Amino acid sequence: MQRLRKVLRHASILVALVGATKVSTGLSEDIAVPQSTQDLAEAYGLDEPGRMMERYLLAHIDQAAVTWKAEVTACITPEAIAARQVRLKKKFLEALGEFPPRTPLRSKVVGRIVKPGYCVEKIIFESQPGVFVTAALFLPEPKQYPVPFPAMIVACGHSAEGKQYDAYQRVCALAAREGIAALMWDPIGQGERRQLSDGRGGLIAKASTHEHNAIGAMSMLLGRNTATWMIWDGMRALDYLESRSDIDSTKIGCTGNSGGGTQTSYLMALDDRIMAAAPACYVTSLYGRLPRTIGPQDAEQNIFGQLAWGMDHADYCLMRAPKPTLLCVATRDFFDSNDSWASYRVAKQAFGVLGRSEAMGLVEVNEEHGFTKPLREASVRWMLRWLKKRDEPIEEPADLEVLTAEEMRCLPQGEVMFIEGARSIPDVLRTEAIRSASRRISINQEQNLEDRQKSIRMLAGIRRIHEIPKPEITILDATADIFPQRKGIRTQPIVVDVEPGIRLPAIWCTPEQGPIRGVSMVVDGDGVVGKTIGDAVAQIVERGNAVMAVDVRGTGLTQRTGQRYFDLERHGPDGQDFYLAYLLGRSYAGMRAEDLLVMATLAGTITTLKGLESGGTVPLHGPIELVAIGEAVVPAMHAAATAPELFSSVTLYGDLEGWTRLIATDAAHVPLTSLVHGALEAYDLVDLQSIFGKPVQIEPHRKEHSK
């Protein structure tokens, strides 16, 4: 295939005037269809196109890692470390959003079970009004150990059983038998705290991580994170310990495994009450192997923008330096142990600068992922060393007795949402969404159009047109059989490199006869390149318009497939790539909107193949028509609202459903790539239509529109 590569040079945006005519939704099946998507991708010069976004985002993570390494390497004085601690805590808290107010815990003990060497009090408290937390407090034998007891909080990993899980009970029981009280609670979505309603008076039976991710999708629109609520529950657990006269509140530790290691890492970094900490099977490196192997994990394990502003796992230790911290590592963990050691060395150096090298430790056992017996023993020994000044080997008894699931249950029905007056975290988010809507009304009345557009650009990460680098164009052989054709339409496949690592396949369609009266652009969340030239495009061309049909990044040929971890049916097929972008503080909606701005500029400055080949332009006299289908609706409206001068009208095949409405039901289909962190603090999707200020026609989206 013969290719001609040209760089498009243009000093100004020249665009075409098109009316807001309704697009036909028909479909013709008499068009040649490409035999192989792989062959078509190769024809477009796309190597492993489904991994394009992953490669692009990992390259940006690598760039951020260079900056991060330089920053931590420069922390060679106590003053530099203190400054980094202040900066990172501030950024961390900003990314989490505002915590709820500290309201009365209204705690009550609902049961007591005695076991050999310890007893368990079953407790319910409210971390927020109506947000019930089921917990278990493992207490030492007072005849053996005098009160007040030192204590530790134990954060559960992602077991569906929550606090009932055997290994988590065992670390609590071991601590209690050694004289340390241990408070463990059910995280949201686990144990007795399932959160998602099916709308019929029941609860959606999903894996705990699915609940975490669903709550994460809702939370991010309000500038929060699943971690926000989990951290707050942990802080309120500390409040509960402080409220008890039998607990020494000056001697409190924290441990947890896997997802509990995540919570431990966050809590130990942010809450100064935690004297000693021992996160297990979690601390590794987000700049290291994790994003390249198992990929980003659950919603709460990804903090918005943290890799852009330089917070890796090692920093959770650094932020609390020089307070005693032990990393509990499993050699054969999927959280890479080599990167655990790398994070340990970074933290160890900081502790050394502060004169407390001995307070930063690491224990590694030749085990797979899990709170195994050696790690349970190591974490409890660490607590004994720093909370009781007792440093000696301990061993978990082989006959250690723990509670049955029924004994551990705090509620007869086993679900907090069946308590009268109970609120779920989605309920909390719905209340906050209503407050945000009220605040937006006031803000929108005070701001002018330019200020509102500025807010959208800032939140979604959309640059002004003149700030986006000029694209590079590759013209392909239009006669190749691999490309779709249609009688009466001249088609020219092109490739547009909008930035390094991002290549957009497109087809420029023009009438075979007659003048070009205007220009339209068609974009589909499922992709348009590689499909037949359907009636929707054909009828636009028949009325004299040229059409630029394009697959924006991560759609069509470059769509990531096989990523099922983030609930494919609920959140779309590219959750892990989305979270790579999220870690970098990037939004898919914003990146795709920029793609559309680039393509609209290109479409508005060329009207014939001859003009494209020569690098010249045929000046037109107005903006272009934008047609968006399915999940392309969200980036299309972001593009239109932030650069309305490019577009005469927008036709949408799909709902412009407000994000507030998506939060209104627990069972909503919420594609992650359509979300913008913190957007509801400034705008909802429906606001984009009024900001655009020109005709927007909305039609139902049916699957045939994407054919």
Write down all domains in the chain, each with its CATH number in brackets. 4-35+447-701 (3.40.50.1820), 83-413 (3.40.50.1820)
pLDDT at residue number 32: 39
Is pLDDT above 60 for 483? yes
Tell me what percent of the chain is helix, strand and coil, each rounded to the nearest 5. 40, 20, 40
Q: For residue 511, is the peptide bond before it cis, meaning its omega torsion is within 30 degrees of 0?
A: no
SS3 409: coil
Residue 323 to residue 356: CA distance in whole angstroms: 8
Torsion angle, CA of 310/313/318/319, rounded to 10 degrees? Answer: 70
Q: Which of 33-42, 76-85, 562-571 has the largest mean confidence?
A: 76-85
Residue 281 to residue 391: CA distance in whole angstroms: 23
pLDDT at residue number 396: 98
> Please, what's the largest Cα pairwise distance for the chain?
97
Residue 361 to residue 375: CA distance in whole angstroms: 13
Q: How far is CA 377 from CA 170, 273, 365, 373, 462, in A?
A: 10, 23, 11, 6, 50
**Cβ neighbours of 687 (radius 10 Å):** 18
Please report which confidence band the pLDDT of residue 655 belongs to, taking 50, 70 and 90 as the band edges.
confident
Query: Residues 705, 25: contact at Cβ < 8 Å?
Result: yes
Query: Residues 360, 321: contact at Cβ < 8 Å?
Result: yes
pLDDT at residue number 623: 86
pLDDT digits (tens, 9 = 90+) for 145-164: 999 999 999 999 999 999 99
Of 323-327, 342-346, 476-480, 610-614, the poorest mean pLDDT is in 610-614
Residue 208 to residue 161: CA distance in whole angstroms: 9
- CA atoms lying within 13 Å on the CB side of residue 436: 24
Query: What tokens does 590 get?
Result: 């914003």
pLDDT digits (tens, 9 = 90+) for 46-64: 999 999 999 999 999 999 9
pLDDT at residue number 21: 26
Average pLDDT, the chain: 90
Please report which confidence band the pLDDT of residue 12 belongs to, taking 50, 70 and 90 as the band edges.
very low
pLDDT at residue number 149: 99
Residue 455 to residue 458: CA distance in whole angstroms: 5
pLDDT at residue number 407: 98
pLDDT digits (tens, 9 = 90+) for 438-475: 999 998 888 999 999 999 999 999 999 999 999 999 99
pLDDT at residue number 571: 80
**Residue indicated by tokens 């092109």:** 494
pLDDT at residue number 20: 26
Is pLDDT above 50 for 127? yes
pLDDT digits (tens, 9 = 90+) for 361-402: 999 999 999 999 999 999 999 999 999 999 999 999 999 999
pLDDT at residue number 200: 72
pLDDT at residue number 207: 79
**Which is it for strands 149-155 and 181-185: parallel, antiparallel or unpaired?**
parallel
pLDDT digits (tens, 9 = 90+) for 219-261: 999 999 999 999 999 999 999 999 999 999 999 999 999 999 9
Is pLDDT above 80 for 590? yes
DSSP lists the bridge partners of residue 368 as 332
Q: What is the mean predicted confidence (pLDDT) over 136-146?
A: 97
pLDDT at residue number 622: 62
Residue 1 to residue 521: CA distance in whole angstroms: 26
pLDDT at residue number 202: 75
In sequence order, what are the residues at sequence separation of 6 or more whose Cβ sits closer than 8 angstroms to the Cβ of residue 517? 18, 543, 544, 545
Is pLDDT above 50 for 687? yes
pLDDT digits (tens, 9 = 90+) for 273-285: 999 999 999 999 9
Residue 675 to residue 654: CA distance in whole angstroms: 16
Residue 343 to residue 278: CA distance in whole angstroms: 14
Is pLDDT above 70 for 602? yes
Residue 103 to residue 33: CA distance in whole angstroms: 62
Angle between helices 226-243 and 78-96 (to 10 degrees): 110
Q: What is the mean predicted confidence (pLDDT) over 647-673?
A: 88
